[in-house]
Amino acid sequence: MNKKAAFLMTALIALGVTVALVTTDKAVFAHCDTLDGPVVKDARLALEKGDVTGLLKWARKEREQEIRDAFARSLAVRVKGKEARELADRFFFETLVRVHHSGPRPPVIGQGSGSRG
């Protein structure tokens, strides 16, 4: 393959990858350690329902009590106003994601808004 053909092939591949990334649904890129990832989405629903049970799938068995405790604390604080609710939710999301990532992987530091980088 000559240089011109190789350049053209590389350009076409780059264009294809760019189009795929731009047109791919955002949900495909959601990751469990972001605020719009599946862990936090489940946590939002659980807080609204007041039921932690569905979240225990995100933690190892030996860490379930930590999730239950953080959930109870968050529910207790959420009733104290809008600002308290936001802080309590954030505390719970960060706790749940940290516990979810504990173990063989290093813990997550902070939360993204949906992008990693």
What type of residue is 2?
A: N
Contacts of 73 (CB under 8 A, 6+ apart): 88, 91, 92
Higher per-residue confidence, 102 vs 12: 102
pTM: 0.62
Confidence of residue 106 (pLDDT cuts 50, 70, 90): very low
Chain centre distance of CA 24: 18
Q: What residues does each domain of the chain span?
A: 30-117
Query: What is the number of helices (H) and of strands (E) in the chain?
Result: 4, 0
Q: pLDDT tens-digit profile of 29-88? A: 446 667 788 999 999 999 999 999 999 999 999 999 999 999 999 999 999 999 999 999
* 66 touches 95 (CB < 8 A): yes
Confidence of residue 111 (pLDDT cuts 50, 70, 90): low
Confidence of residue 3 (pLDDT cuts 50, 70, 90): confident
Query: Tell me, what's the pLDDT at 34?
Result: 77
- How far apart CA 15 and CA 19 sit, in angstroms, is 6
